[in-house]
């Protein structure tokens, strides 16, 4: 992203660098977005009327970039916030690389099971011609080619090994397999981890020139000066801590071999039981907390002890779902070192005022 896209990006870049070192430049690392003063309302986009139009709405990078640029032009990016393209062909596109039938829906992309017997599953088949593989790379190349310093380029979501395997096999079936055929499950997870690492590395190099030599996760609004990918395991909600250590910890260690600025998407109350295992991973740089739908907010006393444990363990903490009126409480309760908060404001003036207050609330 060039200087003409965000004139103070160099300052934000230094705050991000300090964040990863759990240091401070002048204030807590903070992103706040708002609608530009006087910006027009978002245009109404007609809903697809046929399945072909629906598929095109998901996979057409040219139309999607036009829509995203219109949104960027209406947005004030304050603090460390930045404009970026996002790419999502469903949160688990890697499942399609291995044969899951893809169903496009207006609100999501669904992947249907394809593995009948995990013991007999072959993981050495070529995936380059599989559904969504080419589309994933084509969109990334297109967004990068059209960038011209106007935005950062977020890497596509392809899911994670165990989550994608649960779609390929079926959630209940995979859980039984972990008990009855653990070696076969480990083989499948390992194969998907290898693909995850290769795909992310290739995509990183495509997008890197647009990302100031680094990498970004737009929905979190984070940036790092090197490989920086989201790791997650929603399937872990139904796993015991022991099974998490057996199956998921090796998966995460595989990702971190190519994920220098690693962040784990720790999501909801069912994930709390796995915090001990996460804090024991020396290569894990950051944990991102999402309270989950219908749960107390980020600043709730229910979560603060866990958030403080993350910081005490020397991990960076990312809070991308904080409400504006929570920011003061979060900064009062948590160290500003290694803390990143992303929020929004109703107006540009409110966003600027919040940033001024954040500077005053910042502390060690």
Q: Tell me: the pLDDT tens digits for 79-105?
A: 999 999 998 898 999 999 999 999 999
Mean pLDDT over each residue of the chain, to the nearest integer: 95
DSSP 225: S
Question: At residue 300, does pLDDT exceed 60?
Answer: yes
Instruction: Tell me the mean pLDDT in the region 290-296.
Output: 94
Q: What gap in Å lies between CA 240 and CA 237, rounded to an integer?
A: 8
Question: Which 3 state secondary structure label does DSSP give 21?
Answer: coil
Instruction: Tell me the mean pLDDT in the region 13-17.
Output: 98
Angle of helix 171-180 versus helix 182-207 axis, rounded to 10: 120
Q: Which structural domains are found in the chain, ordered by start?
A: 1-39+221-239+260-364 (no CATH), 43-73+83-217 (3.20.20.210)
pTM for the full model? 0.96
User: Which of 89, 15, 20, 97 has its CA nearest to residue 57?
Assistant: 89
pLDDT level of residue 4 (50, 70, 90 thresholds): very low
| Pairing status of strand 152-153 against strand 230-231 | unpaired
Instruction: Tell me the mean pLDDT in the region 206-222.
Output: 98
Q: What gap in Å lies between CA 166 and CA 185, rounded to an integer?
A: 10
Residue 334 tokens read as: 């948590």
User: Which of 363, 355, 316, 315 has its CA nearest to residue 339?
Assistant: 316
Task: Find the DSSP H helices in 111-264.
Answer: 133-145, 161-169, 171-180, 182-207, 241-243, 249-256
Instruction: Tell me the mean pLDDT in the region 290-299.
Output: 95
Instruction: Quote the pLDDT of residue 285.
Output: 98
């Amino acid at each position: 992203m060039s200087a003409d896209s965000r004139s103070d990006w160099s300052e934000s870049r230094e705050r991000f660098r300090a964040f990863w070192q759990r240091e401070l430049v002048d204030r807590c690392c903070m992103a706040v977005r708002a609608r530009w003063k006087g910006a027009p309302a978002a245009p109404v986009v007609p809903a697809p009327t046929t399945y072909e139009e629906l598929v095109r709405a998901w996979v057409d990078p040219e139309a999607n970039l036009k829509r995203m640029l219109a949104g960027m032009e209406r947005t004030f990016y304050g603090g460390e916030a930045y404009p970026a393209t996002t790419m999502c062909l469903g949160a688990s596109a890697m499942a399609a690389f291995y044969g899951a039938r893809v169903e496009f829906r207006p609100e999501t992309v669904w992947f249907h099971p394809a593995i009948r017997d995990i013991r007999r599953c072959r993981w050495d088949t070529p995936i380059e011609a599989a559904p969504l593989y080419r589309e994933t790379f084509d969109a990334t190349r297109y967004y990068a080619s059209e960038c011209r310093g106007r935005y950062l380029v977020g890497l596509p979501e392809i899911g994670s090994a165990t989550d994608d395997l649960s779609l390929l096999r079926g959630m209940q079936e995979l859980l039984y397999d972990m008990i009855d055929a653990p070696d076969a499950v480990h083989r499948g997870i390992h194969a998907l981890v290898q693909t995850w690492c290769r795909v992310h590395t290739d995509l990183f190099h495509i997008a890197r020139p647009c990302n100031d030599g680094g990498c970004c996760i737009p929905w979190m609004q984070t940036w790092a000066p090197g490989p920086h990918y989201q790791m997650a395991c929603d399937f872990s909600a139904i796993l015991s801590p022991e099974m998490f250590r057996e199956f998921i910890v090796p998966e995460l260690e595989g990702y971190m071999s190519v994920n220098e600025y690693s962040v784990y998407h720790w999501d909801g109350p069912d994930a709390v039981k796995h915090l001990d295992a996460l804090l024991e991973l020396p290569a894990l740089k950051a944990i991102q907390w999402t309270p989950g739908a219908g749960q107390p907010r980020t600043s709730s006393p229910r979560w603060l002890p866990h958030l403080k444990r993350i910081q005490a363990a020397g991990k960076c903490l990312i809070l991308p779902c904080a409400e504006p009126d929570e920011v003061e409480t979060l900064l009062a309760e948590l160290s500003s070192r290694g803390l990143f908060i992303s929020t929004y404001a109703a107006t540009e003036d409110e966003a600027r005022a919040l940033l001024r207050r954040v500077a005053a609330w910042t502390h060690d």
